[in-house]
Amino acid sequence: MTARMPAQSKASRATPAGAGYIVANLVAGLVTPLRAPRGAWTRRLVPAWRRLAPYAPPVAAAIAAAMVLVDAPMVRAVDRLPSGVIDAFSELTDFGRGAWPLTPLFVLLLATPVLNMPRLPLMARGVVTAAAIRLGYMFLAIGLTGLVDTIIKRFIGRVRPSALGPFAFEPFAWRPEYASFPSGHATNVFATLAAVGLVFPRARPALWIYALGIAASRVIISAHYTSDVLAGAAFGAFGAIVIRDWFAARRLGFYVGRDGRVHAMPGPSRRRLLRVAAQLVGK
């Protein structure tokens, strides 16, 4: 007598198993952000550079004013700070490197294709997918913005604070000492502030403290001029908004409303995330 195999649903029979399913999830995660915009209201979305154009003149004026009026005096002022203060900010400033937010985001992002397995209920798989979309947005918003900043600052070639003064430039030098403008650390932390704050609004107060602390540290340890930090902050926030708009046009974590503005989609609640975590560990 032949033993009967347990019946399988159509969905489970059509789903790749094991490693194949993980690869399919990875491919979907890479391809989905590249799909064509969707949604009837997407065409109403005004590009970020046009929406933010009114802010460009005052921001540019603030950066220019800092170059002329603040940069050199601030370098002299921080030189008079107690060595203990400078040492403390030297320790703090390392937390502005892009690796700090990007590494945990990357690890969590890699985990989602593995966790999103057929054994999970459909609702739980939806929660994992929603979390993966938000992780992907934050990772790209911080990583791509930081990458573009790294290229731009080497094209500009501003000399870091030194005896040469704030108006010394050597474009296309491609050396760290000629990569002062915009500040890479400021770009990273303000992209993090904008991107993570858009996904987790309640975290914004802590993110502001983090971003401002790192930005100040770059000036205090004489790694950057004040204008470098201002430019990096503006560029980091702008980059995060541009990538948010890209996701919104594809209805990934965000969407374009009838008013033409970008809105965040409701994300999985903490209780639902904990329930999925319990299902993953088999409880």
Report the predicted TM-score, pTM, of the whole model to 2 decimal places: 0.89
Give the SS3 label for residue 8: coil
Asked if pLDDT for residue 95 goes beyond 70, the answer is yes
In the chain, domain spans: 58-280
Please report, as a single letter, which amino acid is at residue 1: M
Distance CA 212, CA 220 (A): 12
Please give the structure tokens belonging to residue 95.
Answer: 């937390």
Q: Where are the alpha helices (DSSP H) in 164-225?
A: 184-199, 204-220
Name which of 173, 237, 165, 246 is nearest 204 in CA terms. 237
Q: Which of 50-54, 103-107, 256-260 has the lowest mean pLDDT?
A: 256-260
Asked if pLDDT for residue 72 goes beyond 90, the answer is yes
- Per-residue pLDDT tens over the stretch 212-253: 999 999 999 999 999 999 999 999 999 999 999 999 999 999
Query: 201 near 233, Cβ under 8 Å?
Result: no
- Per-residue pLDDT tens over the stretch 118-156: 777 777 778 888 999 999 999 999 999 999 999 999 999
- Per-residue pLDDT tens over the stretch 40-52: 778 888 888 889 9
Q: Residue 189 — very low, low, confident or very high, per pLDDT cuts 50/70/90?
A: very high
Query: 233 near 215, Cβ under 8 Å?
Result: yes
Give all strands (DSSP E) within 111-167, no chain letters: none
Give the SS3 label for residue 58: helix
Give the SS3 label for residue 105: helix
